[in-house]
Amino acid sequence: AGISYADLENIKVLGHGNGGTVYKVRHKRTDKIYALKVVHGDTDATVRRQVFREMEILRRTDSPHTVKCHGIFEKPSGDIAILMEYMDAGTLETLLRRDGTFSESKLRNVASQILKGLNYLHSIKIIHRDIKPSNLLVDRKMSIKISDFGVSKIMCRTLDPCNSYVGTCAYMSPERFDPDSYGGNYNGYAGDIWSLGLTLLELYLGHFPFLQPGQRPDWATLMCAICFGDPPALPDGASEEFRGFIECCLQKESNKRWTASQLLNHPFLCKDQRSD
């Protein structure tokens, strides 16, 4: 029943990531379209480790809100290829660039799908650690799936500090820089919620919340803003529910941040869908 590598035909390059390239491919016998992530055999050990971690996580996950894996190929050349379902509208980052900022009602739908995905991952003890617009895939029905598990962590014990420097620094939570001040009884899951809060705020504002539009990211300034500044908040004009929701995600102290399952019951998501 499996799909063999020889049956896949390359259509085009979808994008380049950290160490790999993602192709749009066609399965010749069924005409079905897939995405194929190829990591070349000569890439360094860190990247290869990430690919194996990603494979392991994809094998364990099965949810409508995480990207599905249809096969993994290891070629004699050493290349590794991961066959995934194809998401035909790109990522939340490409949608933001193409169609502009998201309305509150659009974000209510986006937030609820990402939270269902995070709630699922956290329930099976996986921390994503790299939630950001470009890792959230979208299809034309506006289904959203979490992808890119290269730096995710499978928790063996519940109290693993898991402080290693992975993920895109800009979206990292205060406790990942400074666990003593913001960590509480740090368990890592709350870091994904912080990144979700920043992601939603970015989609609403149209720019990364800690930077002014067009401002170039500077790592030291950014880290100071995350650790010492007030968390970013919504501007006037946003509803009370949305403002409250973002506040619950962007609590600097990780143990005050709401969990995915708490946020799924937040008034912002439970509000009557027809009211705006």
Would you give the binding string for Mg ion spanning residues 16-55, x where CB under 5 A is met?
-x--------------------------------------
Separation between Cα atoms, residue 165 and residue 42, nearest integer Å: 23
Nearer to ligand ATP, 84 or 190 (CB): 84
Q: Which residue is nearest to Mg ion (CB)?
A: 148
Furthest C-alpha separation in the chain: 58
Site for Mg ion in 192-231 (CB under 5 A): none
- Candidate list 130, 139, 192, 218, residue with the active-site label: 130
Nearer to ligand ATP, 136 or 193 (CB): 136
Using CB under 6 A, list all residues that contact ligand ATP: 14-15, 17-18, 20, 22, 35, 37, 67, 84-87, 90-91, 134-135, 137, 147-148
Of 54, 104, 148, 192, the residue at the interface with Mg ion (CB under 5 A) is 148
Nearer to Mg ion, 94 or 259 (CB): 94
Q: What is the DSSP letter of 44?
A: -
Separation between Cα atoms, residue 1 and residue 81, nearest integer Å: 18
Output Rg (C-alpha) for the chain, integer angstroms.
19
Separation between Cα atoms, residue 111 and residue 113, nearest integer Å: 6
Nearer to Mg ion, 28 or 49 (CB): 49
Alpha-carbon distances, residue 174 vs 57, 115, 266 (angstroms): 26, 20, 23
Separation between Cα atoms, residue 249 and residue 259, nearest integer Å: 8
CB neighbourhood size of 177 (10 A)? 16
Q: What is the DSSP letter of 238?
A: B
- Is 135 a binder of Mg ion (CB under 5 A)? yes
Shortest distance, position 131 Cβ to Mg ion, whole Å: 11
Using CB distances below 5 to 8 A depending on partner kind, what does residue 222 bind out of ligand ATP, Mg ion, none?
Answer: none
Shortest distance, position 187 Cβ to ligand ATP, whole Å: 24
- 130 included as an active-site residue: yes
Give residue 205's Cα distance to chain centre: 18
Using CB distances below 5 to 8 A depending on partner kind, what does residue 176 bind out of ligand ATP, Mg ion, none?
Answer: none
From the annotation, which residues make up the binding site for ATP?
37
From the annotation, which residues make up the binding site?
37
Nearer to ligand ATP, 17 or 71 (CB): 17
Using CB distances below 5 to 8 A depending on partner kind, what does residue 194 bind out of Mg ion, ligand ATP, none?
Answer: none
Using CB distances below 5 to 8 A depending on partner kind, what does residue 137 bind out of ligand ATP, Mg ion, none?
Answer: ligand ATP
Shortest distance, position 99 Cβ to ligand ATP, whole Å: 15
Shortest distance, position 21 Cβ to Mg ion, whole Å: 12
Exposed e or buried b per residue across 149-171, where buried means at least 16 C-beta atoms within 10 angstroms of its C-beta? bbbbbebeeeeeebeeebbeebb
> Which residues, in sequence order, are CB contacts of 76 under 8 Å at separation 6+?
none
Strand locations in the chain, DSSP E?
Answer: 8-16, 20-27, 33-39, 69-74, 80-85, 126-127, 136-138, 144-146, 153-154
Encoding tokens for residue 138?
């979208």
Facing residues of 126 across strands? 154
Residue positions annotated with a catalytic role = 130
Question: Which residues make up the interface to Mg ion (CB under 5 A)?
Answer: 17, 135, 148
